[in-house]
Amino acid sequence: MARHNYPESVDFHAVGVSSDSDLNPFRIVQRQVDEAAEVLKLDPAIHELLRWPLREFHASLPVRMDDGTTRVYQGFRVQYNDARGPSKGGIRFHPDETIDDVRALAAWMTWKCALVDIPLGGGKGGIICDPRTMSQGELERLSRAYIRQIGHNIGLDRDVPAPDVNTNAQIMAWMVDEFAFMHGYNEFGVITGKPLALGGSLGREDATGRGLMLTVREAAKKLNVDLKGARMIVQGFGNVGSWAAILLQELGCKLVGVADVSGAWSNPDGIDALALQAHVKEKGVIQGFASAGKPVDKEAVLELPCEILVPAALHNQIRKDNVARIKPRILAEGANGPTTPDADPVLYQNGVYVIPDFLCNAGGVTVSYFEMVQNAYNFYWDLPTVHDRLEQKMAAAFDSVHEMAQTYKVHNRLAAYLVAIHRVAEAMRLRGWA
C-alpha cells in the first residue's frame, strides 16, 4: 500500500486524530481509501482530497437546564464530499462522540450514497451529550441550539441531516421547526427521518433493516444458501438489528442468538424477533425477555455457529484477535465499521461472504433520499412504491459490488470501495477539482 503524507498544517492533537491507534475510525477510513486508490490508480490530487473532509463545523452549544443552570455542549457537523450532490447524513447524540467518529461516518456516507447511486454526498453530525440523563425539554433546547449554529450551512441543496444514534423523529421535528423559524419559511426537506405529519416518508422506520434483509437475500441467491431455517445471530437490537431480524425471520430465518448492552443470549430453538422487539421497546433492553435462552459471553455470541451474522451495534467488533473464530456463511454489517481492516483478509480466506456496512445498511439513506424527493415535489408515495424503489436500488448496488469483487478477485469491502470511490472520483474529475 502506498504511503501518503498528511498536510503540514494539520495538528493531530488539535483536531482530535489519534495518530497511534489502529482502531481510530478515521484512520481506518483513510487506510481503506488508500487501498482502493492504489487499485484504481487514482490521480494523486483526487486521492488526497478523498482522504479528508472538504469542510467541518465545530460549535459550542449553551443549553439552559431544567435546574436553571446553563451547560455548554460541543457539537460537530462534517461535510465530507459533495462532488455528487448535497451532503447527507445523520446526527448522533452520544457521551463518547469524537470528531474522528464524525469524520469517519461522514466519509462512509459519501461512499454509501455513491454505491447506491443516489445524487448526494456524505455528511454527519454529532453532539457530545448523554441523552439518557436529559429531560425532553433539555433535549429540545439542545436540538434547537445545534440548528442555530449550523442552520445557515444546511438546506435541501446544501446538506440534509437525519436521525442517527440516540436521535429520533421528534428531535428531527424540533430541528426542522428551528430551521423554519431562522429562515422565515418551511423547508421540510432540510431534515429527513421526520414524523409523517411533517413530511416524513412511509417506510423510513424499517428502511435500514429492510435494506439489510434485501442484501442478505441477494447474497443467499449467489451462494445457494437456503434461508428457510437458516440460523442468524444479531448483535445489537435497536432499530436496525430488530427490523433486520424481523424481516429475515419472515424469509424463514431463525434467530438463535442476540446481544445488546444488557447482555447476550443463545437459544437454539429460536427467539421470536417480533416479540423481542416489543419487549425492547417497552423495557429498553433485552434483559428480562423470558424466551431469549441461556446467557452467553457478549464477545462469544459472535462466535456461535450460524449461517447469518448481523453485527448491528458498535464499530470494531470483529478484529484480528477474534476473527478466526467467527465463521458465518454471510456476515451482514448493520453497524458502521464493525470489522477492522486486519480482519477482512481473514474473513475472505475463511470463505465468509461479507456484505460491507456501507452497502448493507444503505437502506436508511436511500429512503431518506426518497423523502427529500417527495418533500421537493410535495407529492408523497404509498408504501409499496417506497419498498419497490428501495428493492431496485439495493439489488443494483449489491450486483455492482459482487461483480467488481469477481472482476478484481478481491473481498467485497474493497470491491464496494472500488465502485463508490470510482464514482466520486469521476464526479470530482469532471468538475475540475484536480
Domain contains 246: yes
Domain contains 19: no
Residues 240 and 158 occupy one common structural domain:
no
What does the block give as the cell for 138? 433539555
C-alpha pair distances (Å), 281 with each of 237, 272, 277 = 10, 14, 6
Residues 180 and 279 occupy one common structural domain:
no
Domain contains 21: no
Domain contains 412: yes
Q: Tell me the residue ranges of DSSP E strands in 2-130.
A: 55-64, 70-81, 87-94, 121-128
Domain's final residue, options 191, 221, 244:
191
Residues 173 and 253 occupy one common structural domain:
no
Closest CA to 414 of 362, 352, 341, 365: 341
What does the block give as the cell for 132? 439518557
C-alpha pair distances (Å), 78 with each of 67, 112, 226 = 32, 15, 42
Domain contains 409: yes
Q: In this structure, are residues 191 and 179 in contact, taking their beta carbons and an 8 Å threshold?
A: yes
pLDDT averaged per 10 residues, the chain (length 434): 30 35 86 95 97 97 98 98 97 96 96 97 98 97 98 96 93 98 96 96 96 98 97 96 98 98 96 97 94 93 97 92 96 94 95 97 96 96 98 98 96 96 98 94
- Residue reference for cell 478477485: 409
Compute the C-alpha angle 192/120/27, nearest 5°: 100
Residues 259 and 168 occupy one common structural domain:
no
Cα torsion angle, 150, 372, 79, 215, sign: positive
pLDDT value, residue 4? 32
CA distance 291 to 273: 10
CA distance 80 to 52: 7
Residues 260 and 153 occupy one common structural domain:
no
CA distance 424 to 124: 17
N- to C-terminal Cα separation, the chain: 22
CATH of the domain at 105: 3.40.50.10860
Domain's final residue, options 167, 191, 215:
191
Residues 184 and 220 occupy one common structural domain:
no
Domain count, the chain: 2
- Residue reference for cell 457478549: 298
Residues 230 and 127 occupy one common structural domain:
no
Residues labelled as active-site residues? 124
250 lies in which domain range? 203-434
Domain contains 33: no
Residues 128 and 244 occupy one common structural domain:
no
Other Cβ atoms closer than 10 A to 1: 8
Residues 161 and 268 occupy one common structural domain:
no
Domain contains 14: no
- Residue reference for cell 421540510: 188
Q: CA gyration radius for the chain?
A: 21
Residue 308: in which H helix or E strand, if any?
strand 308-311
Residue-wise DSSP of 331-358: EE--SSS-B-TTTHHHHHHTT-EEE-HH
Residues 138 and 220 occupy one common structural domain:
no
User: Coil, strand, or helix at residue 229?
Assistant: coil
pLDDT value, residue 21? 61
Domain's final residue, options 159, 191, 223:
191
CA distance 115 to 214: 15
Residues 215 and 153 occupy one common structural domain:
no
CATH of the domain at 380: 3.40.50.720
Q: Residue 218's Cα: distance from chain center in Å? A: 20
pLDDT per residue as tens digits for the range 384-398: 999 999 999 999 999
Residues 144 and 185 occupy one common structural domain:
yes
Domain contains 248: yes
